[in-house]
Structure 1
Amino acid sequence: MLGEQLGRVIEDYGGAGLLKDVETLRRSVIRARDADVHERKTEAIVASWPVERAEEVARAFTVYFHLVNLAEEHHRARVLRERDGRGPQPESLAATVAELQRKHGRSRLMEMLSCLEVHPVFTAHPTEARRRAVVTAIRRVGEQLNRLEDPRSSDAERREAMRRLTEEIDSLWRTGQLRTSQVTPLDEVRSIMAVFDETLFRVVPEIYRSLDWALGPSDAGLRPPLAPAFLRFGSWVGGDRDGNESVTSTVTADTITIQAEHALLAFEAATTRIGRAITVDAATTPPGRDLRRRLAALRAAAPERWAEVEKRSPAEPHRQFLLHIADRVRSTRTGAGEAYRSSSELIADLRCVQVSLAGGGAPRQAYGELQHLIWQAETFGLHLAELEVRQHSAVHARALDELRAGQAPSASTRDVLSTLRTIAALQARFGSEVCRRYIVSFTRGVDDIAAVYELAEQAGGKPPVLDVIPLFETVEDLRAAASVMEDMLGLAPVRRRLDKTGRSLEVMLGYSDSTKEVGPLPATLALYDAQTELTAWAVRRGIRLTMFHGRGGALGRGGGPANRAVRAQAPGSVAFRFKVTEQGEVIFARYGNAAIARRHLEQVASAVLEASTAATRSEPGARFAGLAQEIGSAALAAYRALVETDGFAEWFARVSPVEELSRMRIASRPARRTKGNALDDLRAIPWVFAWSQMRLNLPGWYGLGSGLDAARLEDLRRAYASWPLFNVMLDNAEMSLAKTDRRIAARYLALGDRPDLAARVLAEYDLTKKNVLAVTGHTRLLEKHRVLSWAVELRNPYVDALSHLQLRALRALRAKGTSSRERSHAERLFLLTVNGVAAGLQNTG
């Protein structure tokens, strides 16, 4: 249906000729999957069009993928709703707590839930290639789809919804797909706010309510809740300044202001709505002692004002106090009047009303919508998400060197000190939870942690409360992680925080850079070993250790299904706590739709509970340690033989669109850490993004084939059957291979004039595919994932169309003698195809 409406819109816009050209290319790329002659015909078709027509065709395929993604999202949400009506789904919290109670008993289950923490962190370097205007236009199309699918709609309403649907698709077609200015950090902040406003603020209490019902269905909503508020959200958006000079201390302060504005507006609206609805009379529901005391104090402090309140809500003390809370929330937002200094103050006021209602014989009012609001306050605080600051260890080292030498501080050092003062000021206004975690990227030793604490003392004013978190990103640093954590215990600021937090510490493990450094298989094994060593260290030292997983959306950056990733962690490392980055297009894919967001968070929470129980803490990894060493060494040798070949970085720049991508206005963060052209300077995100645009997905599988080739097939099959880490790793590689297109990739590789490197890459792809199929026992890729396999096969030819258009654009951009007008059109065509390929592949970076 959506495709038909898009066809009408295209024809209305560009006439039958444009629609014919789109259809000609569509049929040609489908035929090209079976015969090389059609591949050459496809190239000829694409080359024959004026660049303006090529842009229009690229727009058509890009908008098509936006609509396909929307249709799939709506289908998933509909299926989830239908399944929910048939009882608890597998991997839901309701199903998981029932199973855990059966195995471990009620008392142990409640202990587990009291320890549960799931902590997604939205990051500041997205690969979300769509403009916000495009996202909004897609959302409007979705609203009309909902109206069409609503069984309560009349025929007239459906006709109007269909008319509006076509109108919104027309608007999407006419909306500019490309950004005209560089994205700023605050643009990224505002983009993320949509997820909180439109999804998470509503979904979070629904998750808690579902869990509460599962724990006590007979009296749910009539008693104090059994479900704890186990979700916490964090953000690096506006706080991550590693290699991004655009993120200043002013940006960080503005970020918290924006976040708080959204949170406080939501709390103000919810409190006002609930206050107006709770009209229970003092005669039927007498207020409790604490509420009477608070009301008396308010009356004494402002008798005239409170007389007006009592006049509007006579004999309705609960309503009066709730509307007073709404006024305080408003004052917190505007800075005028009596503001809340922390979320704990807000929660205390809400609980006062709740206790009074319950004591007055109105448990439904006490534990209904009011409980939802309390859960939201416990989860989001006054600031929506904790803003985490990240900076590179080398920046801190330079700052300390300057200060110790008595030099005038450089701009970089001034910003470090200003950032620390800003954190202190934000904590004074919103409480320490607003911005407490400080990530040190490329931590090499304990001095990198001590530097932040020393700088905080020298920043001026009262130092902020900080939990400085080491981020280990290279294989060498991962191996040293436990040793560095041990050294951290010798730092006085760390010991003071341990006393305050019940001996809690956090460590971050970087997936992206380790994978770029040594390849997917050795990096996965190094991360697993680091988790194992850190878990043992924490047990020895009595530390409550949270491991923060810096995973990307793409498979080459630790991506893949999050719930399966949880189960594949080293035994004992989860311990009822799971913290993970959510990056790029994954944020909107997982949290843009309410039903999908709820399912995702429940699956992750369920996996955390299951992975943390004693029954699952066996150690298959120890049994396969020799195998892991064998295949890891072979995979590392193959990967390094490729990336350490003389001229590899220059070849990669020619065969990939990485240099062109670095000029895109996708994110505020530069593609390179420095202005150099070495491979080490290139960030992991554009590295993965470029390979995905080439349709090769090399970071997700390269070296794996050689690694598997070094071991006996029987041993590999045993590991696949009984070791979750190995099973998940191969399944993710299988997905990455399925999304690779060898034919299209070969055309990109031919741009490099290094047939030796091109042949090596394609040979490793063939070897990896052969060995993965042999180990899994599958006859074709994604054989056990019928729906996903069908979706990939259906999408691939349409992505091919965009890849051919992208190759044309790249050749034009790199050709000598190209006029400024031709270059401008070629750049537009290139950027359109990047958007389209990203939409078609879905997990890009």
Structure 2
Amino acid sequence: MSRKPKLERFKENVSSKYQIYNSIFMTLPFDGISNTGVLLPLFSEICEEGYKRDKNPSQIMDKFFERYVEKDKTEKEKVQLLFRFIQYIERQVVLFDAVEDAAFPIVNNMDGRGTLRNIKEEAQEKHQMDALKTYLKRFKIRPVLTAHPTQFYPGQVLGIITDLAEAIEKDDLLTIKKLLAQLGKTPFFKKEKPTPYNEAVSLIWYLENVFYHSASKIYNYIQDNIFKDEELDNQVIDLGFWPGGDRDGNPFVTTEITLKVAERLRSTILLNYYRDIRKLKRRLTFEGVEKRLAHLERMLYDNVYLRKEDEMFSLAEFEAELKAIRDVIVSDHQSLFSAEINDLINKVKLFGFHFAMLDIRQDSRVHQGVFENIVEVMEARENGLFSIDYANATEEEKIKALTNIDAVVASEYFENEITNATISSIYAMKTIQSNNGERGANRYIISNNQSALHVMEAFSMLRLCNWKQPDVDVSPLFETVPDLQAAQSVMRTLYTNEAYAAHLKRRGNKQYIMLGFSDGTKDGGYLMANWSIFKAKEELTAISREFGIKVIFFDGRGGPPARGGGKTHQFYASLGNTIQDEEIQLTVQGQTISSNFGTPESCQYNLEQLLSSGISNEIFSSATAEFSDEDKKTMEALASISYDTYVAFKKHPCFLTYLERMSTLKYYAKTNIGSRPSKRSKSKEFNFSDLRAIPFVGSWSQLKQNVPGFYGVGTALEYMEKSGKFEAVEDLYKNSSFFRTLLENSMMSLTKSFFKLTAYMKDNEEFGEFWSIIFEEFNRTKRMLLKLTGYESLMENEQAGKASIHAREKIVLPLLTIQQYALRKIQELQKDPEANESELKIYEKMVTRSLFGNINASRNSA
């Protein structure tokens, strides 16, 4: 490990190497194009120079064409050149990703703060090894891979990034040149939407090639270096999975796909075991074990390739046989290669026959309609489910009726497509559990959960599917600010319900509760969303402890800070003892998967950071609440002012029309990056509540305005300054690592903003005032954050991260310019009654194509 500062390591191993390989890439012609690589750096220079002189994207483009493109070039040829620029830039982003991946273990200290080795050494130093062992016997992390479309790389491009990173690590110039040429010819644009099964297959690649190795390496380290001869009976790392099970707003997730994905997960983990058994066979060539290994190899081969289920061991038998083989090696063969067989035994403990735990998720509004249909159909079929008029009963009456429900339904009872699908998805969970084990699919998540009735209806549907005692955890998802505020009352009702309390007792008195950052930010702004979630966690911890329930929080976090991303490790280490920390569970999606978990090194490092954040919070913290009463009052005031500011901004008459007409929002649906529709309803009318968080946050990001990550923060801080209460804010900043982490994430959003790109909008008759409101809040937030932190510039304490952001922003500046140029062209053509329809379509395609590189370049937002 180099002792040079992190920024210097980044410059040497990322910035400098990127410049070298990019210069090679720019000289490689593909598809018969030779001058694009020459013209792009010149265009990039014109862009930088133009924004310094306050020129708009159209003026910058005119200047470039005038200076570097022959006068006789037609409009069509100029447009073709811009499309070629887009092709080059999105590939430059891939190259930067690969260089950064290759340098990951050099730039990041793999044995430094937050790693397991560091944690173990700190525990030894502080005589806390027993406490560490006790904690690891019950603590877990669960990253949950989702198919939310926040990255635009097709599978083959992800493969090239991996191969490029390996070649760069070895400085293999010949392979690098070949891979760059391959990259030049590989299409990025998806002509058809992926199916949920396609999405699952691409994410299973990460499970098979990265998590399988990294998670087991961590587990081996814990077993060998912390527990030593003592058997660790806790997985420590679970993996979660949403593609194929997440039905919320995705009509394309069918029962057939759910079962197919579960089967793919099972066959992939068995295939990985098969490969490991083959490797073991080459080493364990001893009497007493050779034939037993050959039997396991044949059994796995028959199951994976020939689909012979009847000859397959159960999971318990498989694990017992591996342990028996280990016993022979220890007793008869001097423990030769016992570490290798221990590694496989640990993998089987971690991944079972399920590989990752497939969650099923659906919206409470769907459940409501489904349940009403069930009641109606059952009344027509027999005596009905209830003695009351369910549709017109009060919530209390409905919950009472659901408590004592006792009937069985089958999906074929229902002609209604959604009811049929919902019921069959529950029967699918039973099938998955019988094939993959109980951990294969044992959680049902209710999106948009607003009441105890929503949980009871989902719980009752499980019981109606011939499952009197469901081996399933029912998890409400609280997302909006009002829902978070009502969460404690919802859980009190459930904990005091006899049927639900009995269910929890059977499930080990554990209650999973999911909290959604993305919709919380969209609904209430950055500070209020994060503060509401913190308060909800405190309240839910208190109510759960009152009833003897261990609450396990599952955070729906996105990639950028505005969607709950940012510095997740610092966030979890800062929660204090008033929030239950039995497990850390969070969603991981899009560019966050590839940037944080895309290589074995980055995956191991970030899993260890998550583990250590929980350990730090529990064992090495001062075991006090994160907030004093005074600090809490200050935080409450800041969140409240920020919320009012954001809500007033949302109510501005230009808010929706600005997004609809001046941003890339409506183009997200045309990118074909995800199977899920980009809005919740099929209505053609533009409605804020139907808008998903990803295109909402993404559209602000494409404008380089990043509103959801800072809007309201500056106003709240300035109000405290003008009221003479800034000292209280300084105390809060000094005392609370939670608050510091929030502000550092907000700084990241500010760092990624670039208002010169859209400065032309301030002269727009309709939207000029609205653009100026955003720009003023940006400047206000920047001024106040610098004052509070004492920094000279944003992200002063994160120089390497800041350098990565600046490098990526420099790469995509020409792409952003092309996008804004195309948007301005579209606006001009839409005003012209004689405009050519085909010309309009070309510029719309240009906007859609430019979305790809811009989003991919933001992968360091996690």
Query: Residue 169 in 1 paired to residue 188 in 2?
Result: no
Residues 678, 844 of structure 1: CA spacing in aligned structure 2 closer, same or farther, 3 A cutoff? farther
Describe how 1:565-714 pairs up with structure 2 within 5 A. Answer: 565-613=571-619, 615-623=621-629, 624-676=631-683, 677-711=686-720, 712-714=725-727
User: Does the 8 Å contact 1:442/1:473 carry over to 2?
Assistant: yes
Q: 1:66 aligns with which of 79, 90, 94?
A: 94
User: Which residue in 1 is equivalent to 2:138?
Assistant: 115
User: Which residue in 2 is equivalent to 1:25?
Assistant: 43
User: Does the 8 Å contact 1:76/1:596 carry over to 2?
Assistant: yes
Query: How far apart, in 1, do the equivalents of 2:90 and 2:351 lie?
Result: 36
Residues 665, 587 of structure 1: CA spacing in aligned structure 2 closer, same or farther, 3 A cutoff? same
Query: How far apart, in 2, do the equivalents of 1:428 and 1:174 lie?
Result: 45
User: Does the 8 Å contact 2:449/2:476 carry over to 1?
Assistant: yes
User: Does the 8 Å contact 1:472/1:508 carry over to 2?
Assistant: yes
Query: How far apart, in 1, do the equivalents of 2:519 and 2:487 lie?
Result: 15
Deviation at 1:70, TM superposition (A): 1.4
> Which stretch shows the higher mean deviation, 516-525 or 810-819?
810-819
User: Does the 8 Å contact 1:212/1:225 carry over to 2?
Assistant: yes
Deviation at 1:548, TM superposition (A): 0.5
Deviation at 1:111, TM superposition (A): 0.6
User: Which residue in 2 is equivalent to 1:4?
Assistant: 23
In the TM superposition, what whole-angstrom CA distance separates every residue of 1:344-366 from its partner, at most 9, and x where no partner exists? 33222222222333233533433
Deviation at 1:684, TM superposition (A): 0.7
Q: 2:123 aligns with which of 86, 100, 104?
A: 100
Residues 167, 532 of structure 1: CA spacing in aligned structure 2 closer, same or farther, 3 A cutoff? same
Paired residue secondary structure (2:444)? strand
User: Which residue in 2 is equivalent to 1:133?
Assistant: 156
In the TM superposition, what whole-angstrom CA distance separates every residue of 1:272-312 from its partner, at most 9, and x where no partner exists? 321342122xxxxxxxxxxxxxxxxxxxxxxxxxxxxxxxx
User: Which residue in 1 is equivalent to 2:9?
Assistant: none
User: Does the 8 Å contact 1:421/1:461 carry over to 2?
Assistant: no
Residues 741, 256 of structure 1: CA spacing in aligned structure 2 closer, same or farther, 3 A cutoff? same
Query: Residue 244 in 1 paired to residue 216 in 2?
Result: no
User: Which residue in 2 is equivalent to 1:811?
Assistant: 824
User: Which residue in 2 is equivalent to 1:263?
Assistant: 269
Residues 99, 436 of structure 1: CA spacing in aligned structure 2 closer, same or farther, 3 A cutoff? same
In the TM superposition, what whole-angstrom CA distance separates every residue of 1:783-826 from its partner, at most 9, and x where no partner exists? 22222223333333332211110112223445335545434533
Residues 661, 836 of structure 1: CA spacing in aligned structure 2 closer, same or farther, 3 A cutoff? same
Residues matched between the structures, number: 786
User: Which residue in 1 is equivalent to 2:399?
Assistant: none
Query: How far apart, in 1, do the equivalents of 2:446 and 2:64 lie?
Result: 48
User: Which residue in 2 is equivalent to 1:209?
Assistant: 220
Deviation at 1:128, TM superposition (A): 1.1
Which residue identity is paired with 2:301?
R
User: Does the 8 Å contact 2:566/2:861 carry over to 1?
Assistant: no
Residues 750, 468 of structure 1: CA spacing in aligned structure 2 closer, same or farther, 3 A cutoff? farther
Query: How far apart, in 2, do the equivalents of 1:202 and 1:747 lie?
Result: 51
Query: How far apart, in 2, do the equivalents of 1:818 and 1:262 lie?
Result: 54
Query: How far apart, in 2, do the equivalents of 1:651 and 1:38 lie?
Result: 18
Deviation at 1:830, TM superposition (A): 2.0
In the TM superposition, what whole-angstrom CA distance separates every residue of 1:545-572 from its partner, at most 9, and x where no partner exists? 1111111111110001221111133534
Q: 2:773 aligns with which of 729, 746, 760?
A: 760
Which residue identity is paired with 2:523?
E
Query: How far apart, in 2, do the equivalents of 1:251 and 1:643 lie?
Result: 38
Deviation at 1:35, TM superposition (A): 2.3
Residues 95, 787 of structure 1: CA spacing in aligned structure 2 closer, same or farther, 3 A cutoff? same
Query: How far apart, in 2, do the equivalents of 1:388 and 1:492 lie?
Result: 26
User: Does the 8 Å contact 1:259/1:384 carry over to 2?
Assistant: yes
Q: 1:484 aligns with which of 486, 490, 506?
A: 490
User: Which residue in 1 is equivalent to 2:53?
Assistant: 35
Deviation at 1:133, TM superposition (A): 2.1
Paired residue secondary structure (1:781)? coil
Paired residue secondary structure (2:274)? helix
Deviation at 1:10, TM superposition (A): 4.0
Deviation at 1:188, TM superposition (A): 0.6
Describe how 1:448-459 pairs up with structure 2 within 5 A. Answer: 448-459=454-465
User: Which residue in 2 is equivalent to 1:382?
Assistant: 353
Report percent identity of matched pairs: 24
Query: How far apart, in 1, do the equivalents of 2:751 and 2:470 lie?
Result: 49
User: Does the 8 Å contact 1:803/1:833 carry over to 2?
Assistant: yes
User: Which residue in 2 is equivalent to 1:343?
Assistant: 315
Query: How far apart, in 2, do the equivalents of 1:419 and 1:516 lie?
Result: 30
Deviation at 1:11, TM superposition (A): 8.2
Describe how 1:153-302 pairs up with structure 2 within 5 A. Answer: 161-215=172-226, 223=229, 229-280=235-286
Deviation at 1:421, TM superposition (A): 1.3
Which residue identity is paired with 2:619?
T
Query: How far apart, in 2, do the equivalents of 1:842 and 1:765 lie?
Result: 22
Paired residue secondary structure (1:363)? coil
In the TM superposition, what whole-angstrom CA distance separates every residue of 1:704-759 from its partner, at most 9, and x where no partner exists? 11111122322222211210111000000011101101111434676782222111
Query: How far apart, in 2, do the equivalents of 1:795 and 1:575 lie?
Result: 36
User: Does the 8 Å contact 2:558/2:565 carry over to 1?
Assistant: yes
Query: How far apart, in 1, do the equivalents of 2:354 and 2:43 lie?
Result: 50
User: Which residue in 1 is equivalent to 2:374?
Assistant: 403
> Which stretch shows the higher mean deviation, 497-506 or 718-727?
497-506
In the TM superposition, what whole-angstrom CA distance separates every residue of 1:108-136 from its partner, at most 9, and x where no partner exists? 22111111201100113131111222222
Q: 1:55 aligns with which of 63, 66, 83?
A: 83
In the TM superposition, what whole-angstrom CA distance separates every residue of 1:522-552 from its partner, at most 9, and x where no partner exists? 1111111001111112222211211111111
Query: Residue 144 in 1 paired to residue 167 in 2?
Result: yes
Query: How far apart, in 1, do the equivalents of 2:505 and 2:765 lie?
Result: 58
Deviation at 1:39, TM superposition (A): 6.4
Deviation at 1:271, TM superposition (A): 1.8
Which residue identity is paired with 2:329?
L
Query: How far apart, in 1, do the equivalents of 2:153 and 2:194 lie?
Result: 11
Query: How far apart, in 2, do the equivalents of 1:748 and 1:179 lie?
Result: 32
Query: Residue 545 in 1 paired to residue 551 in 2?
Result: yes
User: Does the 8 Å contact 2:57/2:817 carry over to 1?
Assistant: no
Q: 1:798 aligns with which of 805, 811, 814?
A: 811
Query: How far apart, in 1, do the equivalents of 2:370 and 2:841 lie?
Result: 42
User: Which residue in 2 is equivalent to 1:158?
Assistant: none
Paired residue secondary structure (1:666)? coil
Deviation at 1:107, TM superposition (A): 2.4
User: Which residue in 2 is equivalent to 1:506?
Assistant: 512
User: Which residue in 1 is equivalent to 2:105?
Assistant: 77
Query: How far apart, in 2, do the equivalents of 1:53 and 1:181 lie?
Result: 25
Paired residue secondary structure (1:180)? coil
Deviation at 1:253, TM superposition (A): 0.7
In structure 1, runs of 5+ residues without a counterpart are: 149-160, 281-315
Q: 1:739 aligns with which of 746, 749, 752?
A: 752
Paired residue secondary structure (2:98)? helix
Paired residue secondary structure (2:608)? helix
In the TM superposition, what whole-angstrom CA distance separates every residue of 1:149-173 from its partner, at most 9, and x where no partner exists? xxxxxxxxxxxx3222212101101
In structure 2, runs of 5+ residues without a counterpart are: 1-19, 67-76, 381-413
Which residue identity is paired with 2:347?
Q
Query: How far apart, in 2, do the equivalents of 1:197 and 1:605 lie?
Result: 21
Query: How far apart, in 2, do the equivalents of 1:45 and 1:96 lie?
Result: 57
Query: Residue 328 in 1 paired to residue 299 in 2?
Result: yes
Residues 658, 167 of structure 1: CA spacing in aligned structure 2 closer, same or farther, 3 A cutoff? same
Which residue identity is paired with 1:691?
W
Query: How far apart, in 2, do the equivalents of 1:345 and 1:125 lie?
Result: 37
> Which stretch shows the higher mean deviation, 261-270 or 750-759?
750-759
User: Does the 8 Å contact 2:57/2:821 carry over to 1?
Assistant: no
Query: How far apart, in 2, do the equivalents of 1:634 and 1:498 lie?
Result: 39
Residues 32, 835 of structure 1: CA spacing in aligned structure 2 closer, same or farther, 3 A cutoff? same
> Which stretch shows the higher mean deviation, 206-215 or 433-442?
206-215
Describe how 1:719-730 pairs up with structure 2 within 5 A. Answer: 719-730=732-743
Which residue identity is paired with 1:659?
K
